[in-house]
Amino acid sequence: MLDLAIIGGGPAGLTAGLYATRGGLKNVTMFEMGLPGGQITGSSEIENYPGQGNVMTGMELMENWLEQCQRFGLKHEMNQVSKVTKEGDIFTLETADGKKQEAKSVLLATGSVPRRAGFQGEDKFFGRGISTCATCDGFFYKGKEVALVGGGDSALEEAVYLAKTCSKVYLVHRRDTYRAAPSTIEHMKACENIEEVTNVDIEEVYGDNMGVTGLKVKSKIDGTIRDLPVPGVFVFVGRDVLNDPLKQDDGTFLCDTNEQGEIIVDLRMRTNVPGLYAAGDVRIDAAKQVVCASGDGSTAAVNIIEYLG
Ligand code: NAP
């Protein structure tokens, strides 16, 4: 029987693991199906984590977090939690390999996954020229032209990153204003090899057996079609929360969520189910910053320790 099961090994889950174990909980396991560190490890440039010093990659920022937690006794299990149920005071976690694990408390810190934009050809060419990770795949397009879809912080930051490797980046956005920080917009506009292709819808991404060979965009102003013959398309159009483990057999969630499926918590990261907490990007009103997710994790852990008495 675990004191605490943490689902997700990003900044929220890792910080919760650190505070829970250092705060005296003996039996804490963090379930993470991939590499601990979370989605931020796919970011190419971080410059807003307090105290970090120089600009660094997400991978560099996260590289010591797990080891620090393990020093205080956090156990890490590389496994996917597929379902969480509760009977009486006890939670049961079912993992992808069919095992069951009981816990007195649970923290959901699963974060989110890249959203699909929904254009023609997206599913067909995903992983064959369409990517959601510039640090992972940008290198394949060294010296080549690429297109990047989106108009938020992620899109603009990754456009700037790709502009360093690629000969040209077409920044394809459905409006002509961006929802990114002013300094990020400034960085993007300063890159001479980024061309803004705004007020357009994507008609289709096309290709052949080898993968993407281009995309067609349609102007929202005059309906003209423009062809961009690029071998790579990066998509950064937001993220969807990963709430699947809380889905019950009858289709409802174990605790309250909002319309987007984000977990409703109070300022202590408590859900409406005693002993069940949520932290980081999976919760309502998340600022979606590493520092905030980390803060959520510590808040949750402090309150879980109190809950367990
Ligand atoms: P976001 O802010 O939600 O932006 C998504 C962008 O994609 C928007 O410009 C949106 O267009 C566009 N979009 C959405 N659906 C689309 C579709 N189906 N087809 C075409 N375009 C579509 O997402 P994000 O950039 O991933 O950022 C998520 C959160 O993380 C934000 O709160 C952001 O501030 C934060 N973040 C912060 C940093 C940082 O501080 N360094 C870095 C990355 C992300 P519209 O503008 O027209 O809606």
Atom of ligand 1 nearest to the CA of 117: 18
pLDDT at 237: 97
Which residues contact ligand 1 via a Cβ below 6 A? Answer: 48, 117-118, 149-155, 157, 174-175, 179, 236-239, 288-289
Fold of 4-114+239-308: FAD/NAD(P)-binding domain (3.50.50)
Q: Which residue CA neighbors atom 39 of ligand 1 most closely?
A: 153
Q: Among residues of the chain, what percentage have pLDDT more than 90?
A: 92
β-bridge mates for residue 277, sequence order: 107, 270
What does DSSP say about strands 145-149 and 130-131: parallel, antiparallel, or unpaired?
A: unpaired
pLDDT in tens, 162-212: 999 999 999 999 999 999 999 999 999 999 999 999 999 999 999 999 999
Catalytic-role residue among 97, 123, 133, 240: 133
Kind of pairing between the strands at 90-95 and 81-87: antiparallel
C-alpha torsion 143→197→147→139, nearest 10: 40
Residue 257 — pLDDT band, cuts 50, 70, 90? very high
State residue 137's pLDDT score. 87
At 263-309, the pLDDT tens digits run: 999 999 999 999 999 999 999 999 888 999 999 999 999 999 999 99
The alpha carbon of 176 and the centre of ligand 1 are apart by a number of angstroms equal to: 14
Q: What residue's CA is closest to ligand 1, atom 36?
A: 153
Q: What is the CATH number of domain 130-235?
A: 3.50.50.60
Report pLDDT digits (tens) over 17-53: 999 999 999 999 999 998 899 988 888 778 889 999 9
Domains 4-114+239-308 and 130-235 share a fold: yes
* Calpha distance 294→309 (Å, rounded): 23
| Per-domain boundaries in the chain | 4-114+239-308, 130-235
CA distance linking residue 264 with residue 259, whole number of Å: 10
